[in-house]
Amino acid sequence: MKTQPECFDCLLGQAFAALQLTGIDKDQQTKILKDVFGVFQAADAAATPAAIATLVNKIIQDQTGVVDIYRDYKEQSTQQALQLYPELKKLIEVSDDPLDTAVRLSIAGNIIDVINYDDYDLLKTVERAIQEPLDGSSIEELRTALHSARHVLFLADNAGETVFDRLLIETLAIPVTYAVKGGPMMNDATWEDAKAAGVDQVAKLVTVGEPSIGILPDYFSLEFRELLANAELIISKGQANYETLEELNYSAFFLLQIKCIHVADGSGLPMGRMALIHKQV
């Protein structure tokens, strides 16, 4: 999805929120914002919002010297989710359809996102995830794909959400490689965040390469490039991965909350809903 005029408002809001968290003063904020405007001005017409956000976040990291801007928030998100883990695990175990429940919970976990929500109600989202119909594709398509796959490449999104992904991975019962960011990038899950959520106990951890928002080939490690090229079955979490992987030529199951009008328009699904989207190329 290429960047729409409205996206710049969102990108600026994200940059501003990150600058606030670094604790620098207003004059320094303005100075760095001007470099952010330079990135906006120079952005290629076909660039995705994720590609622009990546450059913006690198500027903020470089110029403030604060690399892991969302560290505290990510740790809190993970702890909050881990407290729910036993209860959610039980929900899946007693479910008539554990895969369906685990998929829904993994999508529910995508609500953990300070970038798009100032405030969210995780428990309410879990309840909603269990009860409401899933938008997009049928869970049966995923079930069928899982039957014939020997391995899953799972593309992580935010820290905290990782705990919900762990529950899904435990339910899949086939080997999973869990791809996280190679370093801090907004509130995206890193190796440490995945470990803190216990994902390392149930999946092989890899990084996609250099830190970036979404799945951007410019930042891929050689290892991840090969993993992606040879993936039998891809499960991708969140909007940024959806936006960016959609540009590439891969079949995948996307599990996400529809948080933005352009993703809603692009997917044909309503704003604010939880979606399982099976893209076949």
Q: Which residues bind a copy of itself (CB under 8 A)?
A: 3-6, 8-9, 12-13, 16, 19, 26-27, 29-30, 33-35, 37-38, 40-41, 43, 45
Q: Cα-Cα-Cα-Cα dihedral of 52, 227, 107, 210, to 10°? A: -30
Exposure on the CB side of residue 171, measured as CA atoms within 13 A = 27
Q: How far is the CB of 101 from a copy of itself (least distance, A)?
A: 40
Torsion of CA 75, 215, 210, 25, to 10 degrees: -60
> In the bound complex, what is the minimum distance in angstroms from residue 90's beta carbon to a copy of itself?
44
- The Cα diameter of the chain in Å comes to 57
Choice between 40 and 85, CB closer to a copy of itself: 40
Under 8 Å between Cβ of 157 and 189 = yes
HSE toward the beta carbon, residue 151, CA cutoff 13 A: 10
Check if the beta carbon of residue 159 is closer than 8 Å to that of residue 145: no
By beta-carbon proximity to a copy of itself, the closer residue of 49 and 238 is: 49
Give the Cα separation of 100 and 77 in Å (integer).
24
What single letter denotes the amino acid at residue 69? I
Side-chain-side CA neighbours of residue 273 (13 Å): 17
Q: What DSSP state is assigned to residue 70? A: T
φ/ψ of 120, rounded to 5, equals -145, 160
Nearest distance in Å: CB 19, a copy of itself: 7
Residue in this structure with the two tokens 């890193």, named with its chain if needed: 190
The least CB distance from residue 39 to a copy of itself, in Å, is 9
SS (H, E, C) 76-111: HHHHHHHHHHHHHHHHHHCCCCHHHHHHHHHHHHCC
Looking at the Cβ atoms of 40 and 250, the one nearer to a copy of itself is 40
For residue 99 the two structure tokens come to 């895969």
**Which one, 37 or 250, has the nearer CB to a copy of itself?**
37
Q: How far is the CB of 29 from a copy of itself (least distance, A)?
A: 4
Q: How far is the CB of 40 from a copy of itself (least distance, A)?
A: 4
Nearest approach, Cβ of 38 to a copy of itself (angstroms)? 5
Which of 9, 121 has the CB closer to a copy of itself? 9
Of the pair 96, 118, the CB lying nearest a copy of itself is at: 118
Minimum CB distance to a copy of itself smaller for 13 or for 270: 13
Residue 234 forms beta bridges with which residues? 153
Residue 265 Cβ, how far from a copy of itself at the closest point, in Å? 11
Q: Which is nearer to a copy of itself, 3 or 77 (CB)?
A: 3
